[in-house]
Structure 1
Amino acid sequence: MLKTDAKRPFIAPTLAVLTVAVAQANLAIAESFALEEIVVTATKREVGMQDVPIALSVMNSAKIKEQGAGNLEDISAHMPNVNISETSGSDSIFIRGIGSGDNAGFEQSVGTFIDGVYTGRGRSSRSAILDLERVEVLKGPQSTLFGKNTVAGALNVTTAAPTEEFEASISASYEPEFEGWGTSVIVSGALTDTLNARFAARVEETDGYLDNHLLDRNERQEEDTIARVTLEWMPSSDLSVRFKYEHGETDTVGRQDTIGITTPQADFIYQTFGDPSFESSLDYDKYSNSLPGRPGVNYSYEWDLAVVTVNWDVNDFSIKSITSYTDSFSDGYNDLDFGPLQLIGGQSFEDHKQFTQEFIITSPQSDTLEFMAGVFYQSEELELGSDVEIRLSSLGPLFTQGAAGAAAAFGVGSPQHQRALLADAGVNTFGYGDVTLVNNFEQDSDTFSAFAQVTWHMADDFRVIAGLRYSDDEKELDKLGYAAAYDANGYTPYSEPLSPTHQAFWELQRFSTAHHFGSHGFERCSYSFNNPPISATETCNNDTGISNVRSEKHWTGDIVFQYDLTPDAMTYFKYGTGYKAGGFDARNLQGNIDGQEFEDESVVSFELGAKLSLWDGRADMNVALFHNQFEDVQVSVFDGVANFLTTNAGETTSQGLEVDGQVLLAENLLMRYAFSYLDATYDKYDGAACTVAQSATWTGVGSCTQDLKGEPTKFSPEWSGNLGLEYHTELTSSIELKAGIDLQYMEDYHATSDNDPVIMQESFTKVNARVQIAGEDTWTLAILGKNLTDETVSNAPNDIPLGGFGFAGSYFHFLDAPRSYELQATYNF
């Protein structure tokens, strides 16, 4: 279990006391200052946040800059019940304990929308943040206005728009702990009387915070470059056309992973066949190496995005058109044994192209009836390729010493002993177990949807908002996987004579129905084993690949009852439904055709909320009580060998309470707060993958499974919250001081889908602080401290692959950054 020094929850009771005190202090106060209104576009219109009947969190551009947020993962750390983290294959986005697992075939349970354009790939959250106006996190299903793949919520990102007045700035940052630096330039203003333009660019680099002792370098080294041009043409007061083009590149060397937990047996293997100085550690030390003759661990991501947005007012009606095209490509090579061995490596690429077109018509504001309607089309091409190389021969005599040596090393009857018996019987004489698994995945998708939303003002203080959306999705798959082997002549196409060797390698310890390697592609076989003596009878059916077409049609929607208790207090009740599209497993390396397809995920949601303005506008409070019922939640779980098992997890309930707000304690002192209670559990999940400990004692037929009914989902801490204070004062007539501190608390949670207690992340409290001086809106200098409590947090731990070969009970971890400091400077022209 990953331990920290954090204490039990203290933010929630502290905030409760402060909030009650503020509410009771709603006295006759004559001060003229009040909170500034926060404007959002969560309803596809610009509306004050306190008027929106949705539970949402917002971070504006100033806060994003002050926190040194480089990507969406950094922003999510400031929002309870929101988790964005990097995994071994992609990024995962979770809201209220619901999200998508590590599978490139998954679409996200949390949709990401940038300037109204859907961005469905999980890797998009890694891209650098540049010149944003705000980030809104909408919690709960948002199917009517945002469409599919928003069953858990949506990220609504708005970039800064061109200005008529000239403005320009240059910013720089330096992080000495990790040798990181960044610089950005922004220029905006009018080119003509009808044309405004904005240019923004940023370059940043870092050497990383893990020390790879084997390669004598820091990891993960990263370089991000991103540039954006936005033009806005306004030929008349009724028409505006905005064009945006963006190009970005991310290049990395190494990863922020380390082997954190090992067994004595694994230590022996690592130190004997890898690095004698190897030690497992969560202290940001690692010993990692790639396969000989292969590139070092690296990753690159490049994207181009073009968007044309047209707003046209016709007789008080508003018509909007959003047209977008996205082209992105990523590739990389990973060390998949995560340690000093030259044992497992994998390279992969993802080529993604997307075209979208949306039309929206909005009626004028009315005291009786308003409506919004639209149509949406998306065409998507996704191509994935990967190969996984496993070289057991790199372990030398450990797996070639015969049955007697294997029995001495691992014991009679162990999987290693069984394999040695096969080798002694002449099944294999060279490079036993060395194999390359090749996986090609191509998918074309088309989505059409139409929606309508009506707002009926039944009275001055009561309105009903009802929405409905129809969606039609189609996915067409072409997938091929095959195996190749190493022999005395080097790398050669896989041949049938070696088939028993590799079949034994993959299936001997499973005793179940699964795939059989063949030179022509995949072949499904059923086996019956006798042991001892070791023999097998098989029945096979040929399969040269997988082609499939999947079509879905869905009706989703919501209804909201919104009531104004007073001019400063609004309550609402929302009922909603949503879905995430089904699809095809992109990480199936074993040719398990029966498990290739997974079903769509659906949700029914209830939410009761209130938004209050208190203390003569000096404070606000938002409260949401929610209950979300999910069916067929899509999960992907590592099986401990080299494959991911993808399935639908039955039924899940996510329910709880969220409270957030801000208080202007004095004219120059602001407090922000948020806390949540979350109960996200599986109601039905009897086919979940087993933990290492459960697999070791499994006596059933087939692969080990467990029943997780009543157990929590991933990333679902029972309590979480944050508390921030921001103070500013004038040092001189021209220099202002601004200081702030943020506390982020999370109770313990599971970060893997098998709920392995050994790698549960225990509760922690992170503290960030910032001090800034600024001169008359011209320049700023600041120092930012991140994770000042130096908490060790792992958001993507998992089993070391090939558990049956001596690594069972050993785990790798993806670690958040330790304590660091950043210097920031900005000059405005």
Structure 2
Amino acid sequence: MLTSMRRLVSVLAVACGLVVIYEPVWAQTQTLEEIVVTARRRDEAIQNVPVTVNVFTEQAIESAGIESPRDFVAMVPNMTLVEVQNVGNSFITIRGISQARNSEPSVAVLVDGVLETNPYQFDQELTDIREIEVLKGPQGAVYGRNAIGGAILIHTVDPSDHFSGAVRVGVGNGTSEKAQVAVSGPIDSAGTLKYRASLDYYDTDGYRQNAFLDRKADPYRDYSGRLRLLWKPSDQWSADLRAFRDRVETTAFYYIIPRGNEASVFSDFSTPPNANDVTSPIQNNNLGTDNRDVTDLALKLDYSLGSGTLTAVSDYNRTKEIDTGDAFDFRPIPTSLLAFFTGGVPAALGGPFDESQSQFINETTYSQELRFTSRKIGDFSWIAGAYYVHTERFI
């Protein structure tokens, strides 16, 4: 439902713009655009790369309405994304290789060549994206840690040589709004320093009804912004500074525990477990909260030597997420399992009791990569490098 909603937003956004129809002359020869990938840390035509790669170009991203990871993952064979009810926990599975909750991922994710060191930042709105590459199979030789299942390479739109801007707005069912704006251009007259800035806002009241609270159980609001500064004083070297900030506000822990007999609390144990049994409604009395903040700063330096390119990548990331909400068996107090056993406790002594749960994640990482990528001499090329990461994690 959520994916359909977001695609509807994209359709409405396109409908608000100017549509130009071009009828091709059949006598003309049409050529296919060459797809260039960076699967081996260098620009290569996709047909020359001996890796299983699924590529989404900027045109494919626009046509398919890809606005979040779940959208492109659903289009890649042998790949799934499991999203739980706290936005930072998502499990990527490629060819059967997955991960455990609150653990390191099995798939490396890189944005503009910078490795995401924090697994809690992956599930976010995709704004101002130029290309997405999905590499299947172990990629540790090239991408290092957390790449046993594969790698996902996300490339944002590069700063432009001339001033440009884009605005997209959309509305959808479920009282949903979406707005995106991006501006880009040179800063100095020589065009050696360029920028690109983008903002994204998405807000929806949700789609799943909470029968007890008589409101939507899954409202979602996301604010994000991205800034890139690209300085290229000569053909020999360049500096790419990237800043990203994201804030998500939603709810958590509105699970459904099926009951064959809603009037009997012991049906929690006698009802056969079935993940597809949604006959019991969402009815937790604690709506819960789930707030996530992501801050990421990265600097990428490239220096071209005669024999290859020397690259240094520095990254700082901090992600915080707080989840609070109802606990087993996710029902209002009068019909909950705990209240059945503590219902005789008077209010003066704090009864009847109810359960709640929470999780706090605070992770800060610092990473440094140094890499040398050789020039290609015939069919021979090589890469050598070192990578360091320091993680401070509290869960």
Partner of 2:350: none
Partner of 2:363: 352
Identity of aligned residues (%): 25
Partner of 1:380: 391
CA spacing shift, 1:197–1:338, aligned 2, 3 Å: farther
The SS at the match of 1:243 is strand
Partner of 1:92: 91
Alpha-carbon shift at residue 346 of structure 1 (Å): 0.8
Partner of 1:180: 176
Q: Which 10-residue stretch deviates more, 67-76 or 371-380?
A: 67-76
Matched, 1:253 2:251: yes
Alpha-carbon shift at residue 75 of structure 1 (Å): 1.7
Task: Check conservation: 1:209, 1:284, Cα contact below 8 A.
Answer: no
Matched, 1:222 2:220: yes
Residue identity in the other structure for 1:369: F
Alpha-carbon shift at residue 118 of structure 1 (Å): 2.2
Alpha-carbon shift at residue 270 of structure 1 (Å): 8.6
Task: Check conservation: 1:55, 1:138, Cα contact below 8 A.
Answer: yes
Task: Check conservation: 2:259, 2:267, Cα contact below 8 A.
Answer: no
The SS at the match of 1:99 is coil
Q: Deviations over 1:16-52 (max 9, x none)?
A: xxxxxxxxxxxxxx97223221111111111111211
Alpha-carbon shift at residue 62 of structure 1 (Å): 3.0
34, 41, 66: which is aligned to 1:44?
41
298, 315, 330: which is aligned to 2:289?
298
Q: Distance in 1 between matches of 2:252 and 2:315?
A: 33
Alpha-carbon shift at residue 199 of structure 1 (Å): 0.5
Task: Check conservation: 1:270, 1:341, Cα contact below 8 A.
Answer: no
Alpha-carbon shift at residue 65 of structure 1 (Å): 3.4
Partner of 1:150: 147
Q: Distance in 2 between matches of 1:229 and 1:284?
A: 45
Q: Distance in 1 between matches of 2:111 and 2:264?
A: 49
Partner of 1:822: none
Residue identity in the other structure for 1:289: N
Partner of 2:52: 55
Q: Distance in 2 between matches of 1:187 and 1:360?
A: 31
Task: Check conservation: 2:254, 2:284, Cα contact below 8 A.
Answer: no
Q: Distance in 1 between matches of 2:370 and 2:277?
A: 53
Q: Distance in 2 between matches of 1:154 and 1:94?
A: 11
330, 333, 336: which is aligned to 2:327?
336
Q: Distance in 2 between matches of 1:227 and 1:270?
A: 49
Matched, 1:208 2:206: yes
Q: TM-score, normalised by structure 2?
A: 0.80
Bigger Rg, structure 1 or 2: 1
358, 365, 369: which is aligned to 2:376?
365
CA spacing shift, 1:309–1:81, aligned 2, 3 Å: same
Q: Deviations over 1:521-542 (max 9, x none)?
A: xxxxxxxxxxxxxxxxxxxxxx
Alpha-carbon shift at residue 88 of structure 1 (Å): 4.4
Q: Distance in 1 between matches of 2:294 and 2:162?
A: 30
Task: Check conservation: 1:234, 1:240, Cα contact below 8 A.
Answer: yes
Q: Distance in 2 between matches of 1:184 and 1:364?
A: 39
Matched, 1:282 2:278: yes
The SS at the match of 1:141 is coil
The SS at the match of 2:264 is helix
CA spacing shift, 1:62–1:262, aligned 2, 3 Å: farther
Q: Deviations over 1:228-287 (max 9, x none)?
A: 11001111121111101111100103567434x3333x6522999xxxxxxx96379421
Q: Distance in 1 between matches of 2:193 and 2:131?
A: 24
The SS at the match of 1:75 is helix
Alpha-carbon shift at residue 157 of structure 1 (Å): 1.3
Q: Distance in 2 between matches of 1:65 and 1:257?
A: 34
Partner of 2:20: none
Task: Check conservation: 2:255, 2:330, Cα contact below 8 A.
Answer: no
Partner of 1:130: 127
CA spacing shift, 1:52–1:153, aligned 2, 3 Å: same
Q: CA RMSD in A?
A: 2.3
Partner of 2:13: none
Task: Check conservation: 1:270, 1:340, Cα contact below 8 A.
Answer: no
Partner of 1:319: 310
Q: Distance in 2 between matches of 1:338 and 1:71?
A: 31
Q: Deviations over 1:438-494 (max 9, x none)?
A: xxxxxxxxxxxxxxxxxxxxxxxxxxxxxxxxxxxxxxxxxxxxxxxxxxxxxxxxx
Residue segments in structure 1 that go unaligned for 5+ positions in a row: 1-29, 273-279, 291-295, 385-829
Task: Check conservation: 2:226, 2:244, Cα contact below 8 A.
Answer: yes
Residue identity in the other structure for 1:69: I
Q: Distance in 2 between matches of 1:71 and 1:374?
A: 32
CA spacing shift, 1:198–1:268, aligned 2, 3 Å: same
Q: TM-score, normalised by structure 1?
A: 0.39
CA spacing shift, 1:281–1:367, aligned 2, 3 Å: closer
